[in-house]
Structure 1
């Protein structure tokens, strides 16, 4: 009860206090022996029925009345009893001296408390994060410090309720808590402004900022090189949790390969769980998070125009905020900046977690957070999948048991030579996966990614990776089948391409292999040119028993590069080629030992010959030998 006072003429200390209930007060606020202002709502032979508020009424028996009354007349009554069935019995009183005290019932509730208030009238104050017009009511998604709840405002069917309200406004929604399709919503009776909105917003922001703090998790393995990244990852976790609390959709883009899926799938699961935790709408995870693969090793204009178009449509049709873009295993290079500049026109925030060689000067003007091992003096051996498993655990530690094997899969997929790989492999063995199992999972992921093309394939990919999979036997059988199909298709491709693979020995002693994957490999089927080049390279690495090997798979306007035992520094080579061959349209990048280059077709021979010259000058490095040769 939150009383406010209104004195009568007396103001005497000895005056009787008579309470005037606000219209929405319930019987919870009345007490036996207390005086109230009442209004007659019915006259019967044995007395009159009176209202104290819209929800509180009772009988003044004829024997307890001082005068005659008609409907609508006012009088003062004293509550004499509250019967077992809830009926109220009053006596009329006519005090000589009284003062009036207005009573407003506190219906205030947080979103987190609504589960215990079904059927009750409540006030929820918060920020409107989405307004969606249905064929019936207008649905306002309202967030306070504890969560987000849909509030249904009713006008004529399909007509916008409370048209003066906009996304971002603060308001107090008053209504009844009901269950709709199994979830909670407030059926709105009225909307009120909040007192001191600047203070309310500041308090709300502080509370949300505190709620967005990530969990302080212990790392899966002890690894000093990785420790440098943990603060950066914690900042990303907080940014993502805050975006969810703010009702901002997240659009997740990841490289369509094994490491990209090892990064995105655990993070998708963690974010979906957190969205469900703070939203009463069961469809919120589907509406607020979308995972999408990117075929190119950078954020293409084709991808950004699609993403932006869908985001603008969702804002127009569903009243959503524009999304946050989350780039995984991609997004660190100058090639990403045209797409980023497009999003900057709409103030769309961008977060990047990647382990490809970055161009920080190019991308950091456009990104809010950028996590990359190269920024801390490390390299690609810390894979994006390894980072994102820890990031996902900071958002939802409860998924730890289902992702213990994932960092090892990510490391094998991207040929990580990290010192911590042995620890990750041991962790996977504890979860029931030996190294052959992990290799098969990586192979199956690449195979599925090829056929899914631009589809995320969430349920299938989860089953293949073994994350949030409810049937371990199905997972194992699926991986065995898909990996065997991938091996069959890869062997078929090798049978075609190996006889067309040209060999030479470079001045530094490295074996160089070249193959035209455009004309001497099956097209439009698995494996793609990059994977085909990798398969040829692995075959030659085994054949040469640890000697340094470089493989180039090329087409009319591209080349895919693989190396073992040679420190190529592909990003630096690309930079040099751009300067030395103007007009060749050179672009590309990757890791020190894996990458790709594009150029105009008319300058192909010139660019590849220059590339080979640089390879011949590269240093031999035994540390970079293939994981295929690991004991």
Structure 2
């Protein structure tokens, strides 16, 4: 019996059933039926086909990673034949064919242990333990050889000593005869013989002391390790070094304890061994600042430090190192001054906020912290999220240099209504805690674009704050003070600038600060995000990028359509093809095709809705009312929010406002300066039984109790007319 390398449970081998998917296996069998379904294996790329990738598992079996198992297009893989990859065995067919699955983990360090799957053994053993046994056997062999050599040396030395002793005896005998014969001469020399012996003895002793002192000095010099940066360890293999940094992860294997140490130049695994499976330096915890001495070695192709001593820094020493690391990281993460994409007074006023936001994103990438972008499921939300995605992905790939890094360390997820409620927050927290537990992943940086700017998202932010997950809000509305206090950073215009910008305009300028090299890719996005009256500076910028007015309109409508159908997924590739099509000659191709569907569906719905508007005059105001339950197709495109936006633009000259009402939600559209929170509060006072509350400022929606529909509608028309 052994114990699980992850949870310590008693098992036959080194891993329990629950944690098998957290470990990486090295296959030592020779037949497909010896593989274990569900396990992750190290393999190598054998070849490519239109339908997938062939991967060798071990030396004798080959499986197929079908393209349907990939989370990206097959042609986007940067694998070459012979590359080491990591895959999961999904199925072993009766004919010996092996179905493989994609592993988001494409580095040994991301697994929580490496095991040998050897059918001859009958259960999995830890690769490190096997290596240690091999090292021990080699050491024993070397020790035996050393013992034989020593025995032979001792025999030779004994023979030499015996010969020397015989020679010495002969010499002494001859000396005694000489001394007896010359006794008078010797004594007459004033004791010269005795003086000579004393001189030789003194000289011998003095020389020995000098040698000892020199050896001690050399030993002391050799024992002092070289202070080094982690980024320089590649050139120091075999040397003793002293490192200084933060412990960012601790893993206990069945052999050594592995401390992951980070300084301003990188991270490295440091193995400390006291006894198999026993925790070394048990008082050391994550986030400790330490100095660590050890020898730099290369283990299975990766740099590792064999720890000789580890000391936790306290008080002033800790503060000094912590501040030095933080300053160096901030300096590296902080972008250099970047010009706005176009001349824009709102953006110029937010220059400091743009730099702070970009620094947060860049720092997350540098510290292996995933970046999660949550955006509204609208055209503006998708365009804004795509801008940040375009800027961040190259940095992630450059920092991690692994095939799946851009999928592992960056994600983009839409939010309904632009509100981050408890439902969304609970899903995010559950996911991030699972990733931390299973993969030792840091809590992500959450970036909210075209979302999260109002108090309706406070419950979600509070839940993130409980766990200390950092957050950033980029929103084109004037963000509520409560939200500003709840998150780490905000990019938001003042009340006066809110009506003249979009979330995409803000996010694209943040993205240009995150990664200036993608600046040209972002030029057309602000113009696309304006449904009407785009500023001339952004129209000209889009034209420079090859997007005339028709192309801008087509792209906006195409993204809006896909935003509806991708409400719960990001589907990175399709949006990327739409927004960042590489072929300028084909601008409008894909977008034009989808935009035709948009216009056909919207025009039909607007025509139906327009024919069924109920115009009501309340006071001096003329307000159009649409029953969206009765006169729109539920759960089909366009959604109520987009339909009402289009309808309001279409009838703007025929009334002062448009109100859409469904079973339990009411929507307000007007060009007048109406604060939805104030409106909602006043309607609640007029209809106290209606359960009225703001649902989403971005959607212009208010929720209420379905049974009070009539009373709530009357109260809304009365309050709204007074504000027009």
Asked if these proteins are the same fold (TM beyond 0.5), I'd say: yes
Moved more, 124-133 or 600-609: 124-133
Distance 1:134 1:516, change over 3 A: farther
Partner of 1:489: 601
State the secondary structure of the residue aligned to 1:526. coil
Partner of 1:64: none
Partner of 1:557: 664
Q: In 2, Cα distance between the equivalents of 1:480 and 1:173?
A: 62
| Equivalent of 1:373 in 486, 493, 498 | 493
Partner of 1:167: 286
Partner of 1:568: 674
Partner of 1:384: 503
Partner of 2:704: 599
Deviation at 1:109, TM superposition (A): 4.4
1:327 aligns to 2:448 (yes or no): yes
Q: In 2, Cα distance between the equivalents of 1:292 and 1:125?
A: 38
Partner of 1:265: 386
| Equivalent of 1:459 in 557, 564, 573 | 573
| Equivalent of 1:103 in 214, 221, 224 | 221
Task: Verify the 8 A CA contact 2:624 2:655 in the aligned structure 1.
Answer: no
Report matched runs for 1:98-497 at 5 Å: 98=211, 99=213, 100-101=216-217, 102-104=220-222, 108-113=227-232, 125-131=244-250, 141-147=260-266, 149=267, 151=269, 153=271, 164=282, 166-171=285-290, 172=292, 174=294, 176=296, 185-190=302-307, 192-194=309-311, 196=313, 198=318, 199-279=320-400, 283-360=404-481, 362-374=482-494, 377-412=496-531, 415=532, 417=533, 421-466=535-580, 469-472=581-584, 476-497=588-609
Partner of 2:650: 539
Distance 1:194 1:305, change over 3 A: same
Distance 1:605 1:166, change over 3 A: same
Distance 1:503 1:548, change over 3 A: closer
Higher relative contact order (CA 8 A, sep 6+): 1
Moved more, 193-202 or 550-559: 193-202
Q: CA offsets per residue over residues 352-387 of structure 1, 9 Å max, x none?
A: 121234331x32332222222136x42232211111
| Equivalent of 1:610 in 702, 715, 718 | 715
Deviation at 1:548, TM superposition (A): 5.1
Deviation at 1:579, TM superposition (A): 3.9
Q: CA offsets per residue over residues 574-603 of structure 1, 9 Å max, x none?
A: 2322344334222226669x6122111122
Q: How many residue pairs get matched?
A: 516
Q: CA offsets per residue over residues 383-413 of structure 1, 9 Å max, x none?
A: 111111111111211110111111111233x
Q: In 2, Cα distance between the equivalents of 1:139 and 1:261?
A: 41
Q: In 1, Cα distance between the equivalents of 2:277 and 2:499?
A: 55
Q: In 2, Cα distance between the equivalents of 1:120 and 1:440?
A: 62
State the secondary structure of the residue aligned to 1:103. helix
State the secondary structure of the residue aligned to 1:604. helix
Q: In 2, Cα distance between the equivalents of 1:456 and 1:151?
A: 35
Task: Verify the 8 A CA contact 1:331 1:352 in the aligned structure 2.
Answer: yes
Q: In 2, Cα distance between the equivalents of 1:138 and 1:470?
A: 48
Aligned-residue CA RMSD in angstroms? Answer: 3.8
Distance 1:177 1:431, change over 3 A: farther
Distance 1:508 1:399, change over 3 A: farther
Q: In 2, Cα distance between the equivalents of 1:579 and 1:497?
A: 30
Moved more, 423-432 or 293-302: 293-302
Q: In 2, Cα distance between the equivalents of 1:154 and 1:378?
A: 57
Task: Verify the 8 A CA contact 2:270 2:307 in the aligned structure 1.
Answer: no
Partner of 2:612: 500
Partner of 1:528: 639
Distance 1:347 1:471, change over 3 A: same
Q: In 2, Cα distance between the equivalents of 1:477 and 1:119?
A: 58
Deviation at 1:458, TM superposition (A): 1.4
Task: Verify the 8 A CA contact 1:355 1:374 in the aligned structure 2.
Answer: no
Q: In 1, Cα distance between the equivalents of 2:650 and 2:456?
A: 32
Distance 1:204 1:154, change over 3 A: closer
Task: Verify the 8 A CA contact 1:151 1:186 in the aligned structure 2.
Answer: yes
Higher strand share: 1
Deviation at 1:116, TM superposition (A): 6.0
State the secondary structure of the residue aligned to 1:97. helix
Deviation at 1:119, TM superposition (A): 8.9
Q: CA offsets per residue over residues 497-545 of structure 1, 9 Å max, x none?
A: 33322234565465x322222222222221111112223223334xx4x
Q: CA offsets per residue over residues 84-107 of structure 1, 9 Å max, x none?
A: xxxxxxxxx976624332334765
Distance 1:162 1:480, change over 3 A: farther
Report matched runs for 1:571-582 at 5 Å: 571-582=677-688
Structure 1: gaps of 5 or more residues: 1-39, 49-66, 69-92, 620-631
State the secondary structure of the residue aligned to 1:572. helix
Task: Verify the 8 A CA contact 1:118 1:179 in the aligned structure 2.
Answer: no
Deviation at 1:194, TM superposition (A): 4.9
Deviation at 1:434, TM superposition (A): 1.1
Q: In 1, Cα distance between the equivalents of 2:641 and 2:262?
A: 46
Report matched runs for 1:577-592 at 5 Å: 577-588=683-694
Distance 1:329 1:175, change over 3 A: farther
Q: In 1, Cα distance between the equivalents of 2:574 and 2:348?
A: 33
Larger Rg: 2
Task: Verify the 8 A CA contact 1:250 1:324 in the aligned structure 2.
Answer: yes
Task: Verify the 8 A CA contact 1:245 1:278 in the aligned structure 2.
Answer: yes
Q: In 2, Cα distance between the equivalents of 1:313 and 1:237?
A: 27
